[in-house]
Structure 1
Amino acid sequence: MSRFKLNRRKFLTVGAAGAAGAALTGCDVFDPMLRSGHPVRDFMIGANGLTEAVQRTLMGRDSMAKEFSESEIRQGMRPNGSTNPNTMEYMFLSQGNFSLYHLEVDGLVESPMRFNLEELRNMPSRTQITRHDCVEGWSCIAKWTGVPLGHILEQVQPQANANYAVFHCFDVMGVGLSGEIPYYESIDMIDAYHPQTILAYGMNDAVLPVENGAPLRLRVERQLGYKMAKYVYRIELVESFSHLHRGNGSYWADHGYEWYAGI
């Protein structure tokens, strides 16, 4: 099984990073590849179904991502993507050390709730040392501490038709015809309840830095790094993605990348 996982990582790094990774860094030459009907885009969409089916069928829905020892943390966690959102709300909260921050959890739930940072830190926690694999081809081992998402879900009681958890974030990716384009991400309920899926508020035995997603970021360890949404302020449980932006379930999926992104 470990040999299979290694070969699959190579496939994702070479295949996805070769095209998708360059686009993630802002290389405009790849934009035509992400348009509907282009063979690269079609390949990436096909790979999405393949990775999800392989991981769920051969590795099991409860399989765990590898965890590491303290001695294997050899560098700081590399910041990537947005590193300091400049929206007015985020800047206001960060200036107050996020003392006024609240996480909203709503959508298809029986009991919508909101939690401040102190409440989240006082909940049952999980600490895990895992490897962050970026679609750009680099990886980094870090220690993450946070509240299991499953614990939050138990409190809000998802409705039977809740199929996905959507993470709405403070960082804005640009401005389109309909206004600002916020970063958002989603996972299905299998990954939402996975024990290694946490809302991290700590990294390497310290408070989560702003450049790494403070005050709260998602860690979903069986998927590529761009699934680990940073600057999360709201979790919305939904039945489908049809009402969200372009309807593909995440900012990058809306731009041609695979939604599942399993490793």
Structure 2
Amino acid sequence: MRRRLFIASSVSALAGCGPISSALNGNDGVRRALASVETLNHALIGTRGLAREYAERDVDRHFRVNGFATPSDAHYNDLLASNFGRYRLIVDGAVERPSAFSLSRLDALARQTQITRHDCVEGWSAIGKWSGVPLHVVLDAVRPRSDARFVVFRCMDNDGSGTMYYESLNLHQARHPQALLALRLNDAPLDPDHGAPVRLRVPTQLGYKSA
């Protein structure tokens, strides 16, 4: 399992659903700065505004790799050796239909392609062609309960100390029409350095949200 979606019903549930102390998650100064930028981001784009989409000629064919080290543990290597045939995206928590999605099942749900810009909080950007299943389609399949408020994305990347990274969106953000569970980048299946086999893509947010 490279990604796990946990649907939470409150902020306290979100905080309790997994590790929160990492170089990024646990630094109060960093989180305050990111919160300020996110507020500005919402003021400029809004919560339903669309990120700009680009033409094929604008795509950066060598999309920059950034973030924590690519997982190298035995479980991830086993998934990689099977070409992710044994991979399942687990979606559970405050949902009526907890589910485990194989890549083939995800691919069969729906297909969306977008050419959008990834804006990193570190100051660089890159334009990529992302293809996958819209996040709202997966949410519709699992049926979040009426008390659900957040979607938490648990990753297998860690900060070097063994603490796993995670991100979250509220349900309003998660249902944005461009929020995508990407399976492909630039017409090729995601490679491990870019988040294989599944990566969240949220072009209306700064890059750290695309966990």
User: If the length of structure 1 is used for normalisation, what is the TM-score?
Assistant: 0.66
Q: Is the 8 A contact 2:154 2:166 kept in 1?
A: yes
Q: Is the 8 A contact 2:38 2:205 kept in 1?
A: no
Superposed CA deviations along residues 14-59 of structure 1, whole A, max 9, x for unmatched, are: xxxxxxxxx87xxxxxx9xx55xxxx6696266157326525xxx4
The 1-side partners of 2:30 and 2:193 are apart by 30
The 1-side partners of 2:37 and 2:202 are apart by 16
The 2-side partners of 1:199 and 1:163 are apart by 19
- For the pair 1:169 / 2:151, whether they are aligned, the reply is no
Q: Which residue of 1 aligns with 2:175?
A: 193
- For the pair 1:75 / 2:76, whether they are aligned, the reply is no
Q: Is the 8 A contact 2:128 2:186 kept in 1?
A: yes
Shift of 1:209: 1.2
Q: Is the 8 A contact 1:83 1:210 kept in 2?
A: no
In the alignment of these two chains, the number of paired residues is: 188
Q: Is the 8 A contact 1:66 1:130 kept in 2?
A: yes
The 2-side partners of 1:187 and 1:170 are apart by 18
- For the pair 1:209 / 2:191, whether they are aligned, the reply is yes
The amino acid that maps onto 1:220 is V
The 2-side partners of 1:198 and 1:54 are apart by 22
- Structure having the higher helix fraction is 1
Structure with greater contact order relative to length (CA < 8 Å, sep ≥ 6): 2
Rg bigger for which structure? 1
Q: Which of 78, 89, 109 is residue 103 of structure 1 equivalent to?
A: 89
1:147 alignment partner, SS class: strand
Q: Which residue of 2 aligns with 1:65?
A: 51
Shift of 1:123: 1.6
The 1-side partners of 2:61 and 2:185 are apart by 12
The 1-side partners of 2:122 and 2:37 are apart by 17
CA spacing shift, 1:42–1:111, aligned 2, 3 Å: closer
Shift of 1:117: 0.7
Superposed CA deviations along residues 161-187 of structure 1, whole A, max 9, x for unmatched, are: 111100011112233xxxx31111111
Q: Is the 8 A contact 1:83 1:212 kept in 2?
A: no
The amino acid that maps onto 1:130 is T
The 2-side partners of 1:145 and 1:42 are apart by 30
Q: Is the 8 A contact 1:174 1:182 kept in 2?
A: no
1:195 alignment partner, SS class: coil
The 2-side partners of 1:166 and 1:150 are apart by 14
Q: Which residue of 1 aligns with 2:124?
A: 138
Consecutive unaligned residues of structure 2, counting only runs of 5 or more, are: 1-22
CA spacing shift, 1:122–1:47, aligned 2, 3 Å: same
Q: Please list every run of at least 4 consecutive aligned residues from structure 1 whose deviation after the TM superposition is greater than 4 angstroms.
A: 40-43
CA spacing shift, 1:83–1:71, aligned 2, 3 Å: farther
Shift of 1:140: 0.4
2:52 alignment partner, SS class: coil
* 1:84-123 matched pairs, under 5 angstroms: 84-123=70-109
Shift of 1:88: 2.0
Q: Which of 19, 40, 51 is residue 51 of structure 1 equivalent to?
A: 40
Superposed CA deviations along residues 51-102 of structure 1, whole A, max 9, x for unmatched, are: 26525xxx44321000000011143111111352022211110111101000
The amino acid that maps onto 1:86 is S
Consecutive unaligned residues of structure 1, counting only runs of 5 or more, are: 1-22, 25-30, 230-263
| Alpha-carbon RMSD | 2.2
The 2-side partners of 1:160 and 1:222 are apart by 25
Shift of 1:121: 1.2
The amino acid that maps onto 2:196 is A
